[in-house]
Structure 1
């Protein structure tokens, strides 16, 4: 066939006709079956074979999928469903991911980086997030979530009754800390609790996490249950088992309004029952209350609006307490921090290029195992961290800890293939409004919400010999620039106005 006249196409000569037809309908592949990148073409054929295998066990056929792809978005089409696997993912080559993500990437958006960029249409009754036995893979039943696809945040209103003096040293400390990182003062942090997390796409609850730490290093252990999937979304009420100051957290389910939808879960709280959202340990509500503007004399108030920054975060790399390398500014929604040595591009911070004449043996060992590292995604006003390494990562996010009612210094272990939502703009806005009403000291304390720490391979906390992040061989600090600048503006404005009666 002319389609396979190219020498590099010879290896596809004996590919079944059904696979070839699907590849010809895929995105990023020319009608003659060629592609600019050989690796993309190889992946396309593997993915097409995968979807045909999945459809064999379905009431739909490959022909049904072909018809949907030919119609495109021109008219409404039915769901094309495949059976949900035990862990909710499909294997394509050496990649594993949700089926709707894999097949949307094949047929519509070849540049998709993460499933967080997808949201199901309301008309789809079998969308992935609904957690049904059969999952819709019709690429035209999903749409892209734009990076700025979240509602404008209401401004913070500063009234004269909510302002307080701010010590000049405190403001200088705020600005210095914001500029240099290491925002959470280790001396102020009590014992760091540790949390093991294993999330499952299908919403089942697992006891073993499928990985363990021996002598501080993560070792792969064959799980008795299916491999973990991805952390569910914002309204997760995780089953929690607390013993002393160590928590073990297992799978939960997503909430409405998230890219994953809704589902149920069960919680167990041996120590006195669950806390309400209002009684969170740090005063930060697990979900924001609706914002209702109050009528206040405009002469007595100042409005400060949130503005996104040209780079949504800055990342600093540390080995123990020493910062190494340059500060990486993230300008695109999805980036990776990995251990490779290729030149750092816009979408990746490669730690393998960071040199340190004082590097320890522990740091050398850990750096060899970072590999693909962690993927950070900022989309729809939320930030996610996904472990794409072969070894777990350890995350300390005050925002996540407040949302799930963990101790505010909890360190969460995230196994390979799982993710954790580490920040939400709306939750932060609610916390900031609440803090402004209490006084400038409360606003200053929110600094810890915009700084997230992630350690590779080695964890820290009460169950580890390392009690601080600064004792970990290789770790990063992520500073969210938009929320940080918002905090800075509020602090400056409150310091410039006369003290109010509600100063705390």
Structure 2
């Protein structure tokens, strides 16, 4: 047992008793240890360790601010992760699936909210001084944040996605005047591809195995082997790679039941369901645009939860806006590639900055929207046109 836990053992143990969720036990323990240390040491600010215990035992917005000193960049280092303090402790004690400060809003009576932390040396980490924004302001209530899969296990929300902020917003014409996404009928039918999507599996920056073409509308990608050669499963456990290292081997062991990809044609969206006991990380420009987040944002799907990874209504609106604009169509083609990493995340919130640094990941290529783009491309000048791919 380390010195910090030995020194504050009873307090840390007591605070961990109010922890929500079962994920990242060690990370939560270190986050609470760090907070206990700060609350014990601080000479100024507001709130004490006893105040924190009181609000966790008797949850109420009508409670004292509990502050810690603000660091130079405003973030707190916990283990190998850096994050904003109020997000960290809301994640520990209220919403374990929270991803970003943009999902939170302080209550009016909070004296040291994150929003005004630039004006003070302290920030309030009382989890009951923050409210969760269930969806970005102005979007339809039919689009909740990632939610645990309801019973029975195969029942799906009509739509779901992760919430955060955005540096690039969709064109206002994509949304109606009240902020809801305009429903848009699928354009006239044409010769659809035989497979609605294809999957390529990578280990670090190396492709492993064949390209899998998806014909069934529901496909499971797991870490097992499939002796039946079912056309509804892709089993990564049977793939070999002579260059596989220990980190990759260990990650593959945790893929387990993997993910389920559901192409919901009637609802016009594609869902990713995490059936495993470990988080899955998804980068979808379509989802990020819908949720008003930076296009490169990587969304974490907790175990046994789901995410709407592609919304066709938004895609068709953008397709319509990109008519006769080959640059716009080329840019839109990038929205048709979705990257999915098992167990390990990447991006600005993680040590790994690029998906090719993650041990095990997938690239999902959506053939149907790409076919619509190709159809539009044929109506534009062909000079300097490039075959769309995930890297261009």
Q: TM-score range by the shorter chain?
A: 0.5 to 0.7
Q: What SS does the aligned partner of 2:380 have?
A: helix
- Where 1:314 maps in the other structure, the secondary structure is strand
2:225 alignment partner in structure 1? 341
Match of 1:377 among 262, 279, 284: 262
Identify the residue that residue 49 of structure 2 maps to in structure 1. Answer: none
Rg larger in 1 or in 2? 1
| Residue number in structure 1 paired with 2:302 | 415
Alignment correspondent of 2:289: 402
Query: Are the aligned partners of 1:255 and 1:262 in contact in 2 as well (CA < 8 Å)?
Result: no
Counting only pairs closer than 5 Å after superposition, residues 315-464 of structure 1 correspond to structure 2 as 315-343=199-227, 344-379=229-264, 380=266, 381-437=268-324, 439-464=325-350
Query: Which of 373, 376, 380 is the equivalent residue of 1:494?
Result: 380
Residues 159-216 of structure 1, C-alpha deviation per residue, up to 9 Å, x if partnerless?
Answer: xxxxxxxxxxxxxxxxxxxxxxxxxxxxxxxxxxxxxxxxxxxxxxxxxxxxxx9659
Q: Unaligned regions of 5+ residues in structure 1, if any?
A: 1-86, 88-212, 217-221, 232-237, 244-248, 293-302, 498-504
Give the superposition deviation at 1:306: 5.1
In structure 2, how many angstroms separate the alpha carbons of the residues matched to 1:493 and 1:268? 36
1:471 maps to 357
Q: How far did 1:291 drift?
A: 6.0
TM-aligned CA distance change 1:334 to 1:226, over 3 Å: same
Cα separation, partners in 2 of 1:431 and 1:306, compared to 1, 3 Å: farther
* Counterparts of 1:341 and 1:262, CA distance in 2: 31
Q: Partners of 1:304 and 1:268 in 2: how far apart?
A: 34
1:74-473 correspondence to structure 2 within 5 Å: 224-225=93-94, 239-240=103-104, 252=134, 255-256=141-142, 260=157, 277-278=170-171, 288-289=181-182, 305=189, 307-343=191-227, 344-379=229-264, 380=266, 381-437=268-324, 439-473=325-359
* Bigger relative CO (Cα 8 Å, ≥ 6 apart): 1
Secondary structure, counterpart of 1:470 in structure 2: helix
1-side partners of 2:273 and 2:133: how far apart?
A: 15
How far residue 328 of structure 1 moved from its aligned partner, in angstroms, is 1.3
SS in 2 for 1:436: coil
**C-alpha deviation, 1:255, in angstroms:** 3.4
Deviation at 1:496, TM superposition (A): 4.9
Deviations 1:203-256 (A, max 9, x none): xxxxxxxxxx9659xxxxx96458869x9xxxxxx835799xxxxx96726734
Conserved 8 A contact 1:304-1:490: no
Contact in 1 for aligned 2:184/2:316 (Cα 8 Å): no
SS at match of 1:476: strand
Q: How far did 1:491 drift?
A: 1.6
Aligned CA distance change for structure 1 residues 496 and 464 (closer, same or farther; 3 Å) = closer
Whole-Å separation in 2 of the counterparts to 1:364 and 1:432: 41
- Over aligned residue pairs, what C-alpha RMSD do you find? 4.0
Report if aligned partners of 2:254, 2:343 keep a CA contact under 8 Å in 1.
Answer: yes
* 8 Å CA contact retained: 1:306, 1:483: no
Q: Distance in 1 between matches of 2:232 and 2:164?
A: 40
Aligned residue pair count = 250
Q: What secondary structure does 1:310 align onto?
A: coil
Alpha-carbon shift at residue 365 of structure 1 (Å): 0.9
Kept in 1, the 8 Å contact 2:220–2:233? The answer is yes
**Native 8 Å contact 1:456 1:475 kept in 2:** yes
Q: Could you tell me how far 1:377 is from its partner in structure 2?
A: 0.6
